[in-house]
Amino acid sequence: MQYRRPKKNISGVLLLDKPLGYSSNQALQKIKLHYQAAKAGHTGTLDPLATGLLPLCFGEATKFAHFLTDADKTYIATIKFGITTNTGDAEGVVLAVKEANVSKMQLEQVCCQFLGLINQIPPMYSALKHEGKAMYEYARAGIEIERAARTVTIHNIEINALDKDIANITVKCSKGTYIRTLAEDIGAQLGCGAHLIGLRRTQTANYDILQAITLDQFEAMPPTQRALLLLPVDSAVQHLPAITLDADSSFYMQQGQAIWQTGSMPQGLIRLYNEQAEFLGLGEQQSDGKIAPRRLIVHKDL
C-alpha cells in the first residue's frame, strides 16, 4: 500500500507570482502539495498566458477568499494593434490584418471612452461556464454560445508606452473584467483591431506584486521558510472596520451567539478580535443592536 503523507491544517494567505504557462489551478495544486495543505483555493483566475499576483488561501483563509475574488484588480497589459485573433490573444488564429498607425493622442482619446461603467461580452475562449462546461470547450469544438453582456468598471487606464503598433497600459478595474476583451474593443474603436500579447496582474485588493514570491523561489526554500510566507487570515479583509471584544463577548461569539457591544457600531460586516488581538472572524450588527456572527474562524487554542 502506498503511504500518503497526512494533510496539515495550515491557515493563511500566500501571495504567488504566477509563472507563464500555468493555469491558476495548476499553480495552486503545486503549492498545496508542498504545504501538504488540507484545504486551499485561489482568488481569481489568471490565464496560462498571464503572469503575476495570485493570492492563494489556505485553511481558515478560504472562508474569506471571495472578498479577494470580488476585489478590484490592477493589470499591466501589452496590446498589439493591427491584428485580430479568434481568442483575443497571441495564442489564437489570425482573423484579420490591418495597417495600424496609432498615435498616443488617439489612444488616449479611445481609452477615455472605456472609463467608468462599461458593458463587456465575455470571450468564447474563457473559463466562464455554460451548462457545466467552460466556454473554451465549446469554442474549441467550433460552437458559438450566445453570451450576455456584463457590466464592469474601469477605474483607470494609464498609457505606459506606445511604440509603433504595440502599447503597454496599466488598467485598474472591477472583478469580472476581461482585459483581452478590453484590448479588442480598444482596437475596434481605433479601426485597426488588436489583440493581447502580454498580461501581468500587479494588485488585488490591498495586496501588491512586490509582496509576491515566484514558484521557483518558493520551491527552492526549506519548509520552515515556506511557512513564514503565509500572511495572516485577516489580511484578506483589511478593508473592513474592526472592533475588539472583551473576554465574555469573545467566548459567546465563538459559540455562535450574538452579543451586545456598547458604543456606535459600523454598518455592514465588522472584523472581530479578542483582547489578545486574535482574529475571530466577521460579525454584523442586527436590527436589535446585537452583533451577530457571520463568518468565524476556528482557533485550536480558543
Catalytically active residues are 47
Contact 15, 231 (CB under 8 A): yes
Task: Say which amino acid occupies 81.
Answer: F
Contact 251, 277 (CB under 8 A): no
DSSP letters, 73-121, are EEEEEEEEETEEESSSBTTSPEEEE------HHHHHHHHHTTSEEEEEP
Count of positions (residues) in the chain = 302
Which residues fall within 8 angstroms of residue 56, CB to CB, at 6 or more apart? Answer: 13, 14, 15, 16, 27, 28, 31, 32, 40, 41, 42, 43
Q: What is the CA radius of gyration of the chain?
A: 23
Q: How far is CA 67 from the centre of its chain?
A: 9
